[in-house]
Amino acid sequence: GESVGLHLPTLSVQEGDNSIINCAYSNSASDYFIWYKQESGKGPQFIIDIRSNMDKRQGQRVTVLLNKTVKHLSLQIAATQPGDSAVYFCAENRYAGGTSYGKLTFGQGTILTVHP
Amino acid sequence: DTAVSQTPKYLVTQMGNDKSIKCEQNLGHDTMYWYKQDSKKFLKIMFSYNNKELIINETVPNRFSPKSPDKAHLNLHINSLELGDSAVYFCASSQGLAGEGEQYFGPGTRLTVT
């Protein structure tokens, strides 16, 4: 079925390294993608988003890359810090066939652990 | 100031009981959501309301009944609780209804059904 999924469920890095979290999606009709960060015991927090008419977007220490050809999304975190340790979710949005509203479908999540 | 708040934070109850979770947002957003996150961290939308009107109702059992008395509140009532209802429930809000843009999530309500 159509779904958003992640290649790696866990990722461990050393403080200061760059992290790359990957996400594959299967719905070619998806036109908007978001990355969320969820710390333990908290709700998801928006990190960065990208529309399907773009292939790269940068934020503060984060970059999202979108490859529509292979339906792949990645989140790059530069100079990873212990505070970046969390579960990271990608999510896709798709309009419901002619309606004015869409809904987010979340991927499984990747656990990022940053070691000091 | 808390943007999206939920009460209670923890809820432990027995099978067959009826319980409610309340959500409030002070961001002035038009759209509110309920999500369910299972033990494997999988996060799935349940409902979405825009200006008190239901716009998304995923295949959720009718034991779950959302109610939006005004656009700042979206409560979730669950009848005849089952073991499988145990999860963390998140409320969220956003300005638009198109699913785009940042959704602000509450801290979650951990429901345990015994």
Say yes or no: A102 contacts chain B, CB-CB below 8 A: yes
Nearest CA distance, A81 vs chain B (angstrom): 23
Q: Which residues contact A99 (CB under 8 A, 6 or more apart)?
A: none
Nearest CA distance, B101 vs chain A (angstrom): 8
B96, B30 in Cβ contact below 8 A? Answer: yes
Q: Which of B4, B56, B104 sits opposite A103 (nearest CB)?
A: B56
Say yes or no: A100 contacts chain B, CB-CB below 8 A: yes
Is B86's pLDDT higher than 60?
A: yes
**Residue pLDDT, tens place only, B4-14:** 999 999 999 99
The H or E element spanning position A100 is none
Exposure b/e, B14-28, CB count within 10 A at least 16 = b: eeeeebebbbbbeee
Backbone angles phi, psi at B80, to 5 degrees: 45, 60
Distance separating alpha carbons of residues B67 and B65, to the nearest angstrom = 7
Give B87's contacts in chain A (Cβ within 8 Å).
Answer: none
pLDDT of residue A6: 41
Query: Confidence band (pLDDT; 50, 70, 90) for B100?
Result: confident
Across chain A, mean pLDDT equals 88
Per-residue pLDDT, averaged over A47-65, amounts to 95
Distance separating alpha carbons of residues B97 and B74, to the nearest angstrom = 15
* CA distances, B62 to each of A4, B22, B80, B82 (Å): 26, 18, 10, 13
Cα pseudo-dihedral A41, A47, B25, B22, rounded to 10:
-30
**Residue pLDDT, tens place only, A88-108:** 999 998 766 556 567 888 988
Give B107's contacts in chain A (Cβ within 8 Å).
Answer: 41-43
Distance separating alpha carbons of residues A77 and B94, to the nearest angstrom = 25
